[in-house]
Amino acid sequence: MTLRVLFSTLAASIFMAGAAHAAAPDVALYAIDCGRMSLPDADAFADDGAYKGVAKNLVVPCYLIRHPKGDLVWDTGLPEAMADAPAKPPGMSMARKLTDQLKDLSLTPADIEFIAVSHSHFDHIGNGGLFAGSTWIVDADERAYAFRPEARANKIQFGAYSALENAKTVEIKGDAPHDVFGDGTVQIIPAPGHTPGHTVLLVKLAKAGPVLLTGDLWHIAESRAAKRVPRFNVDRAQTLKSYEAIEQLATQTKARVVRQHVPEDFDAMPKFPQALR
């Protein structure tokens, strides 16, 4: 099955599941600030030179999806130890730890049933090890990428999520989306190219409707319309195919598209601990 056919089928199933959002389970989506990055030169984020010498500010979000059948954390942000570090890495900051913010909802990492990340770069899996007691849902290619020798060699970054190697794991294989709760409300969808097993998350909310959390498909606001590809993506052609497939899915489902690193997209979400429902 091609990606185009796959996403057309998925979109159709979403509509057929019930056009009346009120009939959907009570799902809540929380946007959590898990760090900030200031780039003096964003040249690496477009291989056409569009951002050469251009400064950009990025947000590093985490998301909590609360479902009657359990809680899912999507992307875990920068390592929260950074909040206590006397010297932060250049251009990086963190106002509050992820664990402290979860406490606002009377939650700890041990209370989270499922953990998933769009991909295994340090700013998305940086607190992954805190959720080693959760079930890790991960694309099989991404899991292999996260535990390749080159990743293990970076002791600091690898140490932040290495505990996931022994976590209970559900691997996503092939092009099919993974239905987290079995009712179509939360789906992890392959969108490779940035990394071998990059994924996005489709959340169907009763009132707000479908929301697409797009990981690192687009780091910078202008990159979406211009279809710009970062220099460090593992596969340019695959990235462009994922752009096309996710745009098609967004159009067919009329989903709200959240470019995760774009501050204006993050700021448009309800301010934590408020939720989008």
Residue 17 confidence (pLDDT): 41
Residue 86 confidence (pLDDT): 86
Query: How long is the chain?
Result: 277
State how far the Cα of 100 lies from the Cα of 96, in Å rounded to an integer.
Answer: 7
Question: At 41, which amino acid appears?
Answer: D
Say what angle helices 236-253 and 3-16 make with each other, to 10 degrees: 20
State how far the Cα of 171 lies from the Cα of 264, in Å rounded to an integer.
Answer: 33
- All domains in the chain, ordered by first residue: 3-267 (3.60.15.10)
State how far the Cα of 131 lies from the Cα of 129, in Å rounded to an integer.
Answer: 5
Residue 15 confidence (pLDDT): 42
Q: Is the pTM of this model over 0.85?
A: yes
- Tokens 């909310």 appear where? 205
Question: Going edge to edge, which strands form the sheet with 70-74?
Answer: 92-93, 28-39, 56-67, 70-74, 114-116, 135-139, 169-172
Question: Tens digit of pLDDT per residue, the chain (277 long)?
Answer: 454 445 555 554 444 443 333 346 899 999 999 999 999 999 999 999 999 999 999 999 999 999 999 999 999 999 999 998 888 889 999 999 999 999 999 999 999 999 999 999 999 999 999 999 999 999 999 999 999 999 999 999 999 999 999 999 999 999 999 999 999 999 999 999 999 999 999 999 999 999 999 999 999 999 999 999 999 999 999 999 999 999 999 999 999 999 999 999 999 999 999 999 9
Question: Per the structure block, which two tokens stand in for 243?
Answer: 């752009």
Tell me 276's DSSP state: B
